[in-house]
């Protein structure tokens, strides 16, 4: 299904795309945003978003080692403490249904150690936006593999 072919879905998706573009202008580091989007997409099984975010991150200079280790970030030594806090928040925010009560206080407090209030707001919004994209793509079974960097710019 091509969601952009539906006037109603296209209108809604344009707002989600606009939110994503606004987040790109935040002070949250671009590498952190890409790692968070990749991790949420892995959890949600969103092939299209995994394809896009690995390619975009690599194009921006992210190393193949770090990209390959996002799925196992807890055991990997290649992420900063700030990135690890963002990845944990992304996981907890993506798996809300798995934990009654939402994101644990200690996860939030750890993220707040590394990110100021504006960056935390951007991080929360980024997690919400990528989860919205993931759900739309997974529900409609969007394929992966053909994404070209900048294709949706």
Distance of CA 82 to the CA centre of its chain: 15
Pick from 105, 137, 116: nearest CA to 40: 137
Q: Worst-scoring range by mean pLDDT, 2-16, 43-57, 115-129, 131-145?
A: 2-16
107-122 pLDDT, tens digit per residue, is 999 999 999 999 999 9
Domain residue spans of the chain: 28-139
Buried b (16+ CB within 10 A) or exposed e, 58-70: eeeebeeebbebb
- The pLDDT score that the predictor gives to residue 82 is 98
21-51 pLDDT, tens digit per residue, is 999 999 999 999 999 999 999 999 999 999 9
Quote the pTM value: 0.92
H helices of the chain, in order, are 7-24, 30-44, 47-59, 64-69, 81-94, 105-114, 117-139
> 28-139, what's its fold?
AhpD-like (1.20.1290)
Tokens found for residue 143: 């394929």
Q: Worst-scoring range by mean pLDDT, 44-58, 83-97, 98-112, 121-135?
A: 98-112
């Amino acid at each position: 299904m091509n969601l952009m072919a539906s006037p109603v879905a296209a209108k809604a998706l344009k707002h989600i795309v606009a939110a994503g573009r606004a987040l790109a202008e935040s002070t949250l580091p671009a590498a952190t945003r890409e790692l968070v989007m990749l991790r949420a997409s892995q959890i949600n099984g969103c092939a299209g978003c995994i394809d896009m975010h690995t390619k975009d991150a690599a194009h921006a200079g992210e190393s193949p080692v770090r990209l390959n280790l996002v799925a196992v970030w807890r055991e990997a030594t290649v992420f900063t403490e700030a990135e690890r806090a963002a990845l944990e928040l992304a996981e907890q925010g993506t798996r809300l249904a798995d934990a009654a009560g939402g994101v644990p206080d200690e996860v939030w407090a750890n993220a707040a150690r590394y990110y100021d209030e504006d960056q935390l707001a951007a991080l929360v919004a980024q997690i919400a936006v990528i989860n919205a994209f993931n759900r739309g793509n997974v529900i409609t079974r969007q394929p992966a593999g053909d994404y070209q960097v900048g294709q949706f710019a």
